[in-house]
Structure 1
Amino acid sequence: MKSAYQYDIHLPANYDPNQKYPTIFTLHGKGSDEKNMFQLVEPLNEQFIIVGIRGNLRLGMGFQFYELKSLGNPIREMFDLAIQNLESFIRYATEKYPIDANKRYLLGFSQGAILSMSLALTMGDQLRGIVALNGYVPHFVKAEYSLQSIEDVSMFISHGEYDSVFPIQIGYETAEYFQKKTSKVTFNIYPSDHGVSEGNRTDFVQWLMEDAEVSMNN
């Protein structure tokens, strides 16, 4: 199997090739890259494998996973293909590296958060959990995709109170949508614009460590 994406992989410092590890796949925002995302999750690299996925479409000095017709309106064909390719990539990486298939997490910001939440809905309990920072779920995903149960998927959703790209109301609507589908939703608002505050980072790092520890004890 060949990867549709370039990526960085960071193995734990005391890596044991005979052990399977919980893993975080990061998905960056529009115009960014996988290296920016690693800065957010670097404190977790002692316990987790970190796989930073780079969007396959160039945008300025960075990359993206799909293009838009307008703000909040992905080009459907490109979005569909990104979802398919990312599902395939997660399978590819799980086969290639010592990844525990029962402890796979997605962590995305903006476009990456949109993809992470959509993938939670298409992959269901193939994922242990997701962290979605300042995103939403496109209407066509909710209305037209084949959706899986996410009852057992842990979710950390956060939004900036002063987000000038996706207004805070979108954050409330997104959280409400998922709270109807699973009881495992943490929803936090931070006094920030369209970005990740230090408080947000501290909270999701702690959340991931605790959730992975719970999964190891079950």
Structure 2
Amino acid sequence: MRKLNSPMIYELRRPAQTEPGKTYPALFLMHGIGSNEQNMLSLVNGLEDRFYIFSVRGHLLQPPGFAYFTIQGYGKPHRDVFDEGINKLTSFIDYASAEYPLDKNQLFLLGFSQGAILSMTLGLTLGNRIKGIIALSGYIPAFVKEEYNIQPVNELSLFISHGEMDQVLPFEWGLANNEYFRELGADVTFKTYQEGHTVSMENHKDFMQWLLEKVEL
């Protein structure tokens, strides 16, 4: 779906019954490269009773699906394309917060691979505006750490996971994400799995449990 004034195409799931005047936690989903907004929804089945869930489609065509940025080399996004993706996603979070009855103190991000890279970067640029991030198999680009305007993350919680046999994004990058956010004072839960570049059932169970512990209803 896409409302006329929305900066990005998205799929929305929300509680069947909403109470007038009440606000709800929000969950923004970001997919991996070549995927789409439908792909992530199966990971959060059942959460629509509690959350407004926005699954956001990448704005770039990347057959068989979409992407939010392009890559010039290993672990190196094209800077201008990446900046544009971050700006668009920030605008979308602002748009959703204005358009829907969201609890602005309970905004959560969930991303896999390219989506995890963006989720962690948005955590750094939006800081404590975000309550929690689930980052599955990603990394933080060097230029983000070195040149972006990093906001305080002392109230931010993260669930970061990585497969020990990840053949796409090295396991060491997952270790580095954990260390980096801890040094900034964020509350990090770091989990590793005997997996490749994927979301295992155990990983799924762990992050769902983490999310339900973090959300306030």
TM range (shorter): over 0.9
Cα distance between partner residues in 2 of 1:101 and 1:199: 30
The answer for the alignment partner of 2:211 in structure 1 is 208
* 1:55-94 correspondence runs (5 A): 55-94=58-97
Structure 2: runs of 5+ lacking an equivalent: none
Q: How far 1:3 sits from its partner (Å)?
A: 2.0
Structure 1: runs of 5+ lacking an equivalent: none
The alignment yields a C-alpha RMSD, in angstroms, of 1.2
* 1:1-218 correspondence runs (5 A): 2-213=5-216, 216=217
- Secondary structure at the aligned position of 1:45 is classed as helix
Cα distance between partner residues in 2 of 1:188 and 1:80: 28
Task: Write out per-residue CA displacement over residues 162-215 of structure 1, whole angstroms, 9 at most, x where no aligned residue.
Answer: 1001111111111111111124100000111001001111111111111003xx
Q: Which amino acid aligns with 2:50?
A: Q
Equivalenced residue count is 214
Identity, % of aligned positions: 46
TM-score by length of 1: 0.95
Do the aligned residues in 2 keep the contact of 1:7 with 1:34 (CA within 8 Å)?
yes
Do the aligned residues in 2 keep the contact of 1:30 with 1:111 (CA within 8 Å)?
yes
- Secondary structure at the aligned position of 2:32 is classed as coil
Do the aligned residues in 1 keep the contact of 2:131 with 2:155 (CA within 8 Å)?
yes
Closer, same or farther: CA 52–67 of 1 in aligned 2, 3 Å: same
